[in-house]
Amino acid sequence: AQSVAQPEDQVNVAEGNPLTVKCTYSVSGNPYLFWYVQYPNRGLQFLLKYITGDNLVKGSYGFEAEFNKSQTSFHLKKPSALVSDSALYFCAVRASSYGNNRLAFGKGNQVVVIP
Amino acid sequence: EAQVTQNPRYLITVTGKKLTVTCSQNMNHEYMSWYRQDPGLGLRQIYYSMNVEVTDKGDVPEGYKVSRKEKRNFPLILESPSPNQTSLYFCARGDIPLGGRETQYFGPGTRLLVL
Protein backbone atom coordinates (compact mmCIF):
# COMPACT_ATOMS: atom_id res chain seq x y z
CA ALA A 1 0.00 0.00 0.00
CA GLN A 2 1.16 3.53 -0.63
CA SER A 3 0.61 6.58 1.54
CA VAL A 4 1.59 10.21 1.87
CA ALA A 5 2.14 12.33 4.95
CA GLN A 6 1.88 16.10 4.88
CA PRO A 7 2.73 16.89 8.49
CA GLU A 8 1.70 20.53 8.68
CA ASP A 9 -1.93 21.59 8.48
CA GLN A 10 -1.06 25.15 7.57
CA VAL A 11 2.04 26.93 6.37
CA ASN A 12 2.27 30.68 6.90
CA VAL A 13 4.90 32.65 5.03
CA ALA A 14 5.51 36.31 4.34
CA GLU A 15 5.33 37.48 0.76
CA GLY A 16 8.77 37.35 -0.83
CA ASN A 17 10.10 34.72 1.56
CA PRO A 18 10.91 31.16 0.54
CA LEU A 19 8.02 28.72 0.69
CA THR A 20 8.40 25.04 1.58
CA VAL A 21 5.59 22.51 1.79
CA LYS A 22 6.66 19.15 3.20
CA CYS A 23 5.74 15.71 1.94
CA THR A 24 6.97 12.26 2.90
CA TYR A 25 5.78 9.06 1.32
CA SER A 26 5.64 5.34 1.84
CA VAL A 27 5.57 2.95 -1.08
CA SER A 28 6.86 -0.44 -2.12
CA GLY A 29 9.45 -0.03 -4.82
CA ASN A 30 10.11 3.14 -6.75
CA PRO A 31 7.64 6.00 -6.45
CA TYR A 32 5.99 8.30 -8.90
CA LEU A 33 5.35 11.58 -7.06
CA PHE A 34 3.05 14.48 -7.85
CA TRP A 35 2.13 17.90 -6.50
CA TYR A 36 -1.24 19.55 -7.09
CA VAL A 37 -2.63 22.91 -6.01
CA GLN A 38 -6.25 23.78 -5.30
CA TYR A 39 -7.36 27.39 -5.31
CA PRO A 40 -10.59 28.32 -3.47
CA ASN A 41 -13.69 26.84 -5.12
CA ARG A 42 -11.62 25.33 -7.91
CA GLY A 43 -10.48 21.89 -8.95
CA LEU A 44 -6.97 20.56 -8.56
CA GLN A 45 -4.28 21.85 -10.89
CA PHE A 46 -1.17 19.82 -11.69
CA LEU A 47 2.08 21.50 -10.63
CA LEU A 48 4.85 18.97 -11.21
CA LYS A 49 5.85 15.34 -11.00
CA TYR A 50 8.85 13.12 -10.42
CA ILE A 51 9.08 9.95 -12.45
CA THR A 52 12.79 9.28 -12.84
CA GLY A 53 16.04 11.10 -13.51
CA ASP A 54 17.08 14.41 -11.96
CA ASN A 55 16.01 14.66 -8.35
CA LEU A 56 15.12 18.35 -8.72
CA VAL A 57 11.92 18.81 -10.67
CA LYS A 58 10.71 22.17 -11.93
CA GLY A 59 7.03 22.86 -12.47
CA SER A 60 4.43 25.52 -13.03
CA TYR A 61 4.28 29.00 -11.45
CA GLY A 62 7.93 28.89 -10.32
CA PHE A 63 7.53 25.85 -8.09
CA GLU A 64 10.07 23.06 -7.80
CA ALA A 65 10.38 19.91 -5.73
CA GLU A 66 13.27 17.75 -4.68
CA PHE A 67 13.03 13.98 -4.55
CA ASN A 68 15.08 12.50 -1.72
CA LYS A 69 15.00 8.73 -1.78
CA SER A 70 16.89 8.18 1.49
CA GLN A 71 14.49 10.43 3.38
CA THR A 72 11.45 9.34 1.34
CA SER A 73 10.56 12.98 0.84
CA PHE A 74 9.34 15.19 -1.97
CA HIS A 75 9.15 18.71 -0.56
CA LEU A 76 7.66 21.48 -2.67
CA LYS A 77 9.55 24.78 -2.78
CA LYS A 78 9.33 28.25 -4.20
CA PRO A 79 12.13 30.78 -3.73
CA SER A 80 9.87 33.81 -3.33
CA ALA A 81 6.22 33.38 -2.35
CA LEU A 82 3.42 35.49 -3.77
CA VAL A 83 0.08 36.31 -2.16
CA SER A 84 -1.53 34.52 -5.11
CA ASP A 85 0.20 31.29 -4.00
CA SER A 86 -2.23 31.06 -1.09
CA ALA A 87 -4.02 27.79 -1.71
CA LEU A 88 -4.33 24.16 -0.66
CA TYR A 89 -1.45 21.95 -1.80
CA PHE A 90 -1.63 18.18 -2.19
CA CYS A 91 1.17 15.67 -2.54
CA ALA A 92 0.40 12.30 -4.16
CA VAL A 93 2.28 9.05 -4.75
CA ARG A 94 1.88 5.97 -6.86
CA ALA A 95 4.09 2.90 -6.84
CA SER A 96 5.80 2.21 -10.12
CA SER A 97 5.00 -1.49 -10.06
CA TYR A 98 3.14 -2.86 -13.04
CA GLY A 99 -0.61 -2.88 -12.63
CA ASN A 100 -0.65 -0.34 -9.82
CA ASN A 101 -3.14 2.25 -10.97
CA ARG A 102 -4.06 3.81 -7.64
CA LEU A 103 -2.90 7.24 -6.62
CA ALA A 104 -2.69 8.07 -2.92
CA PHE A 105 -3.04 11.70 -1.80
CA GLY A 106 -1.97 13.39 1.39
CA LYS A 107 -4.48 15.37 3.43
CA GLY A 108 -3.27 18.66 2.02
CA ASN A 109 -1.49 21.73 3.35
CA GLN A 110 -3.11 25.14 3.48
CA VAL A 111 -0.56 27.78 2.47
CA VAL A 112 -1.20 31.34 3.57
CA VAL A 113 1.07 34.01 2.12
CA ILE A 114 0.93 37.17 4.19
CA PRO A 115 1.32 40.48 2.35
CA GLU B 1 -8.96 23.19 -24.88
CA ALA B 2 -8.52 19.99 -22.91
CA GLN B 3 -11.30 19.71 -20.38
CA VAL B 4 -12.93 17.51 -17.81
CA THR B 5 -16.52 18.53 -17.23
CA GLN B 6 -18.73 17.47 -14.35
CA ASN B 7 -22.45 17.91 -13.89
CA PRO B 8 -24.06 19.02 -11.77
CA ARG B 9 -21.61 21.27 -9.94
CA TYR B 10 -23.83 21.48 -6.87
CA LEU B 11 -26.47 19.02 -5.71
CA ILE B 12 -28.68 18.75 -2.65
CA THR B 13 -30.61 15.52 -2.29
CA VAL B 14 -32.25 13.33 0.31
CA THR B 15 -31.24 9.98 1.70
CA GLY B 16 -32.06 7.09 -0.59
CA LYS B 17 -32.80 9.04 -3.76
CA LYS B 18 -30.63 7.69 -6.56
CA LEU B 19 -28.40 10.17 -8.30
CA THR B 20 -25.79 10.28 -11.04
CA VAL B 21 -22.90 12.69 -11.42
CA THR B 22 -21.66 12.83 -14.97
CA CYS B 23 -18.04 13.22 -16.04
CA SER B 24 -16.87 13.81 -19.56
CA GLN B 25 -13.45 14.37 -21.14
CA ASN B 26 -12.55 15.56 -24.61
CA MET B 27 -9.00 14.18 -24.85
CA ASN B 28 -9.72 10.55 -25.73
CA HIS B 29 -7.73 9.42 -22.69
CA GLU B 30 -8.02 5.84 -21.53
CA TYR B 31 -7.68 6.49 -17.80
CA MET B 32 -10.43 8.14 -15.75
CA SER B 33 -11.03 8.22 -12.02
CA TRP B 34 -13.33 9.49 -9.30
CA TYR B 35 -12.23 10.95 -5.96
CA ARG B 36 -13.93 12.42 -2.95
CA GLN B 37 -12.40 15.22 -0.92
CA ASP B 38 -13.17 15.59 2.77
CA PRO B 39 -11.60 18.01 5.27
CA GLY B 40 -8.58 16.53 6.99
CA LEU B 41 -8.64 13.44 4.78
CA GLY B 42 -7.42 14.81 1.46
CA LEU B 43 -8.57 13.06 -1.69
CA ARG B 44 -9.53 9.43 -1.65
CA GLN B 45 -10.00 7.39 -4.77
CA ILE B 46 -13.44 5.85 -5.26
CA TYR B 47 -13.19 4.05 -8.60
CA TYR B 48 -11.02 4.21 -11.67
CA SER B 49 -11.17 2.99 -15.23
CA MET B 50 -8.30 1.95 -17.46
CA ASN B 51 -10.43 1.86 -20.60
CA VAL B 52 -13.91 1.20 -21.93
CA GLU B 53 -15.64 -1.55 -19.93
CA VAL B 54 -12.62 -1.77 -17.57
CA THR B 55 -13.25 -0.42 -14.08
CA ASP B 56 -11.79 -1.16 -10.67
CA LYS B 57 -12.27 -0.18 -7.05
CA GLY B 58 -10.21 2.49 -5.39
CA ASP B 59 -9.85 2.98 -1.66
CA VAL B 60 -13.45 3.92 -0.79
CA PRO B 61 -15.83 2.25 -3.28
CA GLU B 62 -18.63 1.35 -0.87
CA GLY B 63 -21.94 2.95 -1.82
CA TYR B 64 -20.82 3.94 -5.32
CA LYS B 65 -21.04 2.49 -8.80
CA VAL B 66 -19.45 3.54 -12.07
CA SER B 67 -19.73 2.61 -15.72
CA ARG B 68 -17.50 3.15 -18.74
CA LYS B 69 -19.50 2.39 -21.85
CA GLU B 70 -17.60 4.88 -23.97
CA LYS B 71 -14.20 6.44 -23.59
CA ARG B 72 -15.29 10.02 -23.03
CA ASN B 73 -17.81 9.43 -20.21
CA PHE B 74 -17.39 8.02 -16.71
CA PRO B 75 -20.51 8.62 -14.58
CA LEU B 76 -20.57 8.13 -10.82
CA ILE B 77 -23.76 6.56 -9.51
CA LEU B 78 -25.06 6.66 -5.95
CA GLU B 79 -27.87 4.10 -5.83
CA SER B 80 -29.01 5.01 -2.31
CA PRO B 81 -27.17 8.08 -1.04
CA SER B 82 -26.55 8.51 2.65
CA PRO B 83 -25.45 11.57 4.65
CA ASN B 84 -21.90 10.22 4.97
CA GLN B 85 -21.57 10.62 1.22
CA THR B 86 -21.85 14.37 1.59
CA SER B 87 -18.59 15.50 0.07
CA LEU B 88 -16.78 17.24 -2.77
CA TYR B 89 -16.31 14.91 -5.72
CA PHE B 90 -13.69 15.18 -8.44
CA CYS B 91 -13.41 13.36 -11.72
CA ALA B 92 -10.00 13.06 -13.35
CA ARG B 93 -8.55 11.92 -16.66
CA GLY B 94 -5.05 10.58 -17.26
CA ASP B 95 -2.79 10.96 -20.26
CA ILE B 96 -0.69 8.22 -21.83
CA PRO B 97 -0.95 5.52 -19.17
CA LEU B 98 2.47 3.91 -18.96
CA GLY B 99 2.52 1.90 -15.80
CA GLY B 100 1.33 4.77 -13.72
CA ARG B 101 3.42 7.58 -15.19
CA GLU B 102 0.43 9.48 -16.42
CA THR B 103 -0.51 12.82 -14.99
CA GLN B 104 -4.10 13.14 -13.87
CA TYR B 105 -6.08 16.26 -14.72
CA PHE B 106 -9.09 17.11 -12.63
CA GLY B 107 -12.54 18.46 -13.26
CA PRO B 108 -14.00 21.44 -11.37
CA GLY B 109 -15.70 19.32 -8.71
CA THR B 110 -19.26 18.50 -7.67
CA ARG B 111 -20.38 19.49 -4.21
CA LEU B 112 -22.97 17.02 -2.89
CA LEU B 113 -25.12 17.41 0.20
CA VAL B 114 -27.22 14.44 1.29
CA LEU B 115 -29.88 15.30 3.84
**Residue from the list B31, B43, B100 with its beta carbon closest to the beta carbon of A32:** B100
Above 70 in pLDDT, residue B78?
yes
Contact across the interface for B106 and A43, Cβ inside 8 Å: yes
Per-residue pLDDT, A99: 62
Contact across the interface for A103 and B99, Cβ inside 8 Å: no
Per-residue pLDDT, B91: 96
Per-residue pLDDT, B86: 98
Strands B104-106 and B87-94: antiparallel
Closest CA to A102 of A22, A1, A8: A1
Per-residue pLDDT, A94: 86
Rounded Cα distance, A101 and A74, in Å: 20
DSSP B72: T
Residue B59 Cα, gap to closest chain A Cα (Å): 8
- For chain B, the C-alpha Rg in angstroms (whole number) is 13
Q: Show contacts of B2-8: CB within 8 Å, 24+ apart.
A: B2/B26, B2/B27, B2/B105, B4/A43, B4/B91, B4/B92, B4/B93, B4/B105, B4/B106, B4/B107, B4/B108, B5/B107, B5/B108, B6/B89, B6/B90, B6/B91, B6/B107, B6/B108, B6/B109, B6/B110, B7/B110, B8/B110
**Number of alpha carbons in the 13 Å side-chain half-sphere of residue A103:** 32
At B97, the pLDDT band (50, 70, 90 cuts) reads low
Kindly report the average pLDDT of chain B as a whole number. 91
At B89, the pLDDT band (50, 70, 90 cuts) reads very high
Rounded Cα distance, A35 and A15, in Å: 21
Per-residue pLDDT, B29: 84
Beta bridge partners, B94, equal B31, B104
pLDDT, one tens digit per residue, over B26-77 is 888 888 999 999 988 889 999 999 889 999 999 899 999 999 999 999 999 9
Rounded Cα distance, A20 and A110, in Å: 12
**Residue from the list A101, A105, A108 with its beta carbon closest to the beta carbon of B50:** A101
Digitized pLDDT (tens) for each residue of chain A, 115 residues in all: 788 999 888 999 999 999 999 999 998 888 899 999 999 878 899 999 998 888 999 998 999 999 999 999 999 999 999 999 999 999 999 877 656 667 889 999 999 999 9
Residue A106 Cα, gap to closest chain B Cα (Å): 6
Residues of B within 8 A of A101 (CB-CB) are: 31, 48, 50, 56, 97, 100
Rounded Cα distance, A87 and A13, in Å: 12
Per-residue pLDDT, A1: 75
